[in-house]
Every structure is written in C-alpha cells, then in structure tokens.
Chain A
C-alpha cells in the first residue's frame, strides 16, 4: 500500500501525458482529460512551495524558542515571513464571507494594502526590501569571480591555456571597446568568434551536453513511470 499505490499513481499520471502526446488535445476526448490533469498538477505543485515555507518557519521558530546561537537573526527571519505573508493573504474586497467579516472590523479603504497587487504591502516589501537584497546577493559574485580570475585561472597545461585564451577572447568580443580592439587587429575577428567559437565549438559541445542530458532525462522518466526509480518517495 505504502509503496504500490504511489507507483500506480505515478504510472497513470505519466502514461496519460505520454498517450496525449500523440493526439491533438483540442480534438480528442483526451484533451479534456489532459486539461484537468494539468490543472490539478499546477494546484498540487503549489502546495509543495508552501510546505517548504512551513519547514523554514518551523526550523527557525524552534531555534528562537531554544535561544540557540544566532536566535535573534532567526527571529528576524520568522518576523519577515509573517510580515510578507499575512497582508498578502488578507481579502482585497468585502465580496467573500471572510472579506465581509474582515472589513466590518477594518475600514474598506485599507483593501488596497492587502493582497499581492500593485501598491500592496506585499508589493512594497518585494520592491524595496526583498528584490534589492536578492539583486545585491548575486552582484557580490562579480567580486568573487574577479578574485578567482586572479588567483585560480592558470595556464598550467595546454587545455587550461585553451580555456583561458577563449575566455579572454569572448570577454573582449562581448564589450564595445574590446570588439573595437579586435576589429582594429583584423576586421573579421569578431565575426569569426561568433561563427567558429560560439556557433562552432561552443554549439557542438552544448549540443552534445543537451543530447546526453536529454537521454538521461528520458531514461530517468521511464524508470519513474515503471516504478524502478522510487527515491522520490523517501524512506519508510
């Protein structure tokens, strides 16, 4: 029961998509079935994200209640989760039953602040707090990559030298001054980089990787459908 039922469900949910691939979804009875199935998957998929948030809150709240190391920062995480989540799940109109009760307590003029739309608390926190931080987190990588280029990018072997020269050429080609410099040496160099490096060597390797990864993806999918691959179920 614990293992067989999930395997049967995975097989049926998957084989339905395989069969529907061969038929026009708009013109066959399979279309409606596929439509419902996909709609259901998008709904169930949504819950998995909330489950993740639930775990984050649980882990951090536990650390706060135990006053473990850095509990103050973990408290900041928990407060931030609620600061973002609570206003976003509040009703934005008095049309629903919950909305009627809510706006009998709070003025209806507050409605714009709730939900996820423009000018809501959610939108403001995202635009002015969350988004700038996420942008900055990734921007710091520029410094690390520069440091890595200085410390670790060595021409110790022929292969490494090839990698290094290509990287420098591409870096020059992708910026206006660099491209002008390459053109001043020979006007055809930028076109040759695009043609042979990007659309030749790079393309062929990327294609090899795409084909290899797709073969792996197809075989893994088949293993899941046939119930051979069950690691997604976890232990127990």
Chain B
C-alpha cells in the first residue's frame, strides 16, 4: 500500500472492508448488517444501469445525433424504446410487443445464421478434421476419443428415441464421457470460486491490513 494515505484513502478502504465483512457475516448466520448491504447492492446495481443507458444510449445515440446532427430518423428506435414501457400498464401492455418483436426478431435472425455457420458447421468440420489431421499413436487415439465423445454425447442428449439397443449403448458411453467432462468442469469451477475468495482475501490482508497498520 502507499507510504502515506489520506483520510479519504483510509475511508475508502474501511468502507470496502466493512461491506465485505458484512456480506461474509452471512456465513455465520443471517443478520441485519448483511441484509442492509445486500439491499444497497441491489439498488446500486440497478442505478448503475440507469446511468449507463442514459449516457451511452439516450444521450449519445439519441439526443445528440438528433439535435446536433439532425438525424431525426432515430425517432423511430426512440419511439420503439418508449413503447417498451407500455408493459407497465396492463391495458396497453400489448403495444410493447412491437418493440420486443423488433429486438427478438433481429436477434433470432443473427442467431440462426450464427448457430449454423459459426457453431454447427465449424465444430463438425473440426471433428472430422481431427481424424484426417491426426499424427502418431497419441494423435489417432485423441482423434478417436473426440469423435466417439461428440457422437455419444449427442446421442445421450437425444431424447426423442428411447435409450435402448445401439442407442442405449452409445448413450451409456456418452454418460462416461460426460462424467469425465463434468468432473473437469467441477475442478475448474472450484478453482474459479476459490480465486474470487482470494481476490477478497488479498484486499483484506494487503489493503485493509495496510490501513490498519498505519492507523495503529
């Protein structure tokens, strides 16, 4: 931490430390410090959206282009955006469907091509390519693992046909593959959660500890 901290530096560190400890206190048991912090957190996060959307969407994308550059055509998305609020009035809520349909239809159009071109075909090419491009015993073995794994996983998640006979055996192989993959995923998830705790612990130890050291 810095050599000498100002009162504001100390205040900022202690405020953060208080908030962190109040939220961690829930681990012992529910209490009013936790509840208050939790509700403040929810409010501030919601407030963050307002500021962000106001500055980046309403001011930068609507008000400035319309009034400064005369892009009056933007009144159309502006109106569509305002129509979204019709959802709050039950009698007129159907009007918001127009805006929703515009966003969802556009997104669906992007998703459709993105799923086919960017995901399904590319991943299938890579699966087939792993066979033709494999070198050496380990490479062939790996390619085999990949092909068998992809097919058996797809079969396992295919519920339109009963898992009996060949389908059943393939699905069973799929379970084994999925268990290994989920095990790896669990290992990674544990790692991720611990990392977040380390981030908080580092703050408390180095920054709050530094402030404590200077004060006492």
Contact = CB atoms under 8 A, between A and B. Distances in A.
- Direct A–B contact in the complex, CB atoms closer than 8 angstroms: yes
Contacts of A173: 187
A134 B45 contact: yes
B41 A209 contact: no
Nearest to B74: A43
6 contacts: A53-B47, A84-B47, A129-B15, A166-B184, A170-B183, A218-B112
B169 interface: no
Interface in B128-159: 138, 142, 145-154, 156-157
| Closest 3 A/B residue pairs (Cβ) | A204-B149, A80-B43, A84-B47
A82 B102 CA distance: 30
A150 interface: no
B101 A128 contact: no
A44 B197 contact: no
Interface string B1-35: 00000000000100110011001101100000001
Interface stretch (A10-18, A100-108, A179-187): A10-18
A177 interface: no
Interface string A62-97: 000000001001101111111111011100000000
B116 interface: yes
Nearest to A225: B108
Contacts of A225: 105, 108-109, 112
A169 interface: yes
B39 interface: yes
Contacts of B38: 73
Contact of A236 (B94, B115, B145): B94
B175 A159 contact: yes
Interface string B178-194: 11111111111111011
Interface in A118-160: 122, 125-126, 128-130, 132-143, 145, 149, 159-160
Contacts of B81: 43-44, 46-47
A25 interface: no
B52 interface: yes
Q: How large is the interface on B (under 10, 10 to 19, 20 to 34, 35 or more residues)?
A: 35 or more
A29 interface: no
B115 A214 contact: yes
A28 to B, nearest CB: 16
A47 B84 contact: yes
A220 B198 CA distance: 41
Contacts of A2: 94, 97
Interface of B: 12, 15-16, 19-20, 23-24, 26-27, 35-58, 61-62, 73-74, 76-78, 80-82, 84-85, 87-88, 90, 93-94, 97-113, 115-117, 119-120, 123-124, 126-127, 138, 142, 145-154, 156-157, 174-191, 193-194, 196-197, 199-200, 203
Given A207-B123, A232-B104, A42 B41 contact: no
Given A17-B113, A167-B184, A116 B85 contact: no
A209 to B, nearest CB: 7
Nearest to A49: B49
A89 B54 contact: yes
A234 B93 contact: yes
A171 to B, nearest CB: 5
B15 A44 contact: no
A170 B187 contact: yes
Given A10-B108, A214-B119, A80 B40 contact: yes
Given A17-B106, A142-B196, A174 B47 contact: no
B46 A44 contact: no
Interface in A204-222: 204-212, 214-215, 217-218, 220-222
B53 A137 contact: no
A12 B203 CA distance: 51
B190 A167 contact: yes
